[in-house]
Amino acid sequence: MASINYIKIHLLTTMKKLFVIACSSIVCIPHLLAQQDTINKITYLQEVIITGVQSATDKQKFPMAVSILNQKDFLQNSATNIIDAIVNIPGVSQITIGPAISKPIVRGLGYNRVVVMNDGIRQEGQQWGDEFGIEIDEYTVLRAEVLKGPASLRYGSDAMAGVINLLPQSFVSAGKTAGKFTTNYQTNNGLLAGNFNLGGNHKGFVWNVNYTYKAAHAYKNKYDDYVWNSNYGEKNFKTIIGEQKRWGFTTLTLSMFNLKLGIIEGARDEKSGAFTKNIITHDGTSDSAVIVSKEELLCYIDYKVIHQHVRHYKAVWDNSVALGNALLGLKIGYQQNHRQEANDITLGDVYNFDFLQQTINYDLSYSLAEINNLKVSFGVNGMGQTFKNKGTSFLFPEYKSFDVGIYSLAEKTIKKLTISGGVRFDNRHFKGDDLFIGPTGKRLSGPAADATQQFVAYTSNFSGFSGSFGATYDFSKMVYGKLNAARAYRAPNVAESGSNGIHDGTPFYEIGDPNLKPENSLQFDATIGLHSATITTEATFFSNKINNYIFPVKLASVFGGDSLREAASTFKFVAGDAILTGGEIIVNYHPQAVKWLHWENAFSFINAIQKNQGDSTKYLPYTPPNKLQSKLLFLFNCSNECIKNGYLNIGMDHFFKQNKVFYKSNTETVTPEYSLLNIGVGAEFFAKKKQVVSIYLLASNLADVAYQSNMSRLKYSDINNATGRIGVFNMGRNISIKLTFPLEFGK
């Protein structure tokens, strides 16, 4: 602890000095702006995407909505995890349980309806759970492409809402060894983060190494003060080695993600409203609650029994071979996700939930040579998966599954018109196993006279067709339009089909249904866009009809109130037909007469209903509210080139009231509207024409607004009897200070 405090004090002292330098530079902005010939210009070039297509494609020629974030966007925000870093994209939001756990939501759909791609394969980390985040180190991501809309055509089951493709850092130029060291401190939860990255490229042999360390104590807000057990720590490692030649490339990626975090329960003292923790009584057989001390709230690395430990190991072999003008691709991946939760203090530091999931990914593709602006490709991909329960409590059955999908894609450009589409067939074989529990709660090898059968074995075979057809048309050099229709398919996951137990971290008792049918959807998208030197605007509207939409419903007791099992509210997975409609409107103004000024605006909206239902069950649960984003961006450089790519941005994110909720049995409550003010400033600093350091400062939630996101599961934790407020609030004011030091060796 003493060493961490020393590092923290030393880091703060250094950052304060750099902050003074940055502020003194910003004071000179009027002078810098006068040097308009040296001001860094933002050029709105056509962006190229690789997500969901057979080869790199002009974003404007792709019929579906795609948003892109580059590395500078990641550096300029104060995200605490990779999903938190992309939620500024219109139409994207997140389910959160504190700052360490975030799950992506795209146009109102999440969990297994969003495929996250990383290192070229789909990330598989038991993503069906509320408190199961995405095991990816954001410092290793160079670029994020978010495809909004059904993408089962290329990625198979689960890509019903879209795809988040996280692209790794690129290799350095030939003959060089280069990298950077990045450090980040955040004031709200004392986050200390550092990343070391170094890579080389020598005669076609390429390599890259990343190591990341994070540690944070409890976060704070105006109503709850410091939130007990919201501390966390990460240690991540990733390396890539490979060959790049004229014939193509082959690379091997090895990574390890290691996260340990407290589980926020929200229990409070009846009188003071202070957070409490459980301790073992003197007899060692029961527990009692005591108030948490300030020292414990500010502790970095002391994880009490109520905590989670997540480790994700991954190996990916990626190959691309040129066969004349054609291209053959092969990817093979292995992932091991080990998730442990210790929730019962009477057992000591014993993991009652201990889930081990192993996945083999495979992807074989072949792209034909382009002829007369016609691109055609086809392939086969899928995965095999096993899941084991190694703990003392059982929520999901052990299972084995195997997916296989065959697809074909085509794209044709005829002057100003580009049409694209394809077809795919998927099959998933799923086998859940029996589980028998003895009188003491321990698992048995088979049936016995005094045993309880926790899970009943079942086998499912799911098949589905996916398809899409879309077109883009350039009405002029500035105006374009897009239309797309897509059918998607998703097989039920193990939680929906087989769960039967209490999830202490939630805490809910969940019941699955092995007879659930696959979801299938039909979505239509329409886009109109304007791309000029002064204004960039795009409006996209969608309608998504989903048959057999699966979601959990709280069960009511025959005696009134909630149905309780093991003292927890009981939820059962059911299915119905749903319709989601909405869109995103983006308007960016960058006047040519004032090149240093940019005004960026975005509005995203969604309406999600279940067909043939009454008022209390009409709306689908946990739908993101409408959101309005607006940001003013000022750019500057120093006339003597000591400061480059300087910026100052002032942004406001307004979240509208969400009263379209699932009212039945108080499953969901109304969320009031709120606005968050964010201010950021940064620049690259040079000495003797060589970059020395980049500084990025961001004050998020500057007004220290106390709010609860509609998508936060902490909104439904215990009541604070001292104030009458229910649940735990989101993070308050937070100032992030990020420094990046470039490293370069060789010519």
What is residue 286's predicted lDDT score, i.e. its pLDDT?
A: 67
What is residue 356's predicted lDDT score, i.e. its pLDDT?
A: 95
CA dist 557 and 571 (Å) reads 12
What is residue 631's predicted lDDT score, i.e. its pLDDT?
A: 96
Q: Which helix (H) or strand (E) holds 747?
A: none
What is residue 23's predicted lDDT score, i.e. its pLDDT?
A: 40
Look up the CATH number of the domain holding residue 528. Answer: 2.40.170.20
Mean residue pLDDT of the chain comes to 87
What is residue 28's predicted lDDT score, i.e. its pLDDT?
A: 41
Q: How far is CA 407 from CA 360, 424, 502, in A?
A: 19, 4, 40
What is residue 702's predicted lDDT score, i.e. its pLDDT?
A: 96
What is residue 39's predicted lDDT score, i.e. its pLDDT?
A: 36
pTM over 0.85: yes
Q: Record the tokens describing residue 520, joined without a space.
A: 């299938």
What is residue 345's predicted lDDT score, i.e. its pLDDT?
A: 79
Query: Cβ distance 514 to 575 under 8 Å?
Result: no
What is residue 432's predicted lDDT score, i.e. its pLDDT?
A: 93
5 Cβ partners below 8 Å, 6+ apart? Answer: none
- Mean pLDDT, consecutive 10-residue stretches, the chain (747 aa), reads 45 42 38 37 58 72 88 87 90 89 90 91 85 88 90 84 90 90 96 96 94 96 94 96 93 96 90 89 74 92 82 96 93 96 78 92 94 93 94 89 94 93 94 89 84 90 92 94 93 89 69 91 95 93 94 69 61 90 95 91 95 86 94 89 92 95 84 96 92 95 95 89 93 96 82
Q: How far is CA 560 from CA 440, 555, 564, 661, in A?
A: 32, 10, 11, 21
* Structural domain harbouring 558: 2-745
Helix, strand or coil, per DSSP, at residue 713: helix
What is residue 10's predicted lDDT score, i.e. its pLDDT?
A: 42
CA dist 312 and 259 (Å) reads 9
What is residue 704's predicted lDDT score, i.e. its pLDDT?
A: 96
What is residue 445's predicted lDDT score, i.e. its pLDDT?
A: 83
105 Cβ partners below 8 Å, 6+ apart? Answer: 92, 93, 94, 95, 114, 161, 624, 711
Name the domain count of the chain: 1
Angle at 181 between CA 180 and CA 187, to 5 degrees: 140
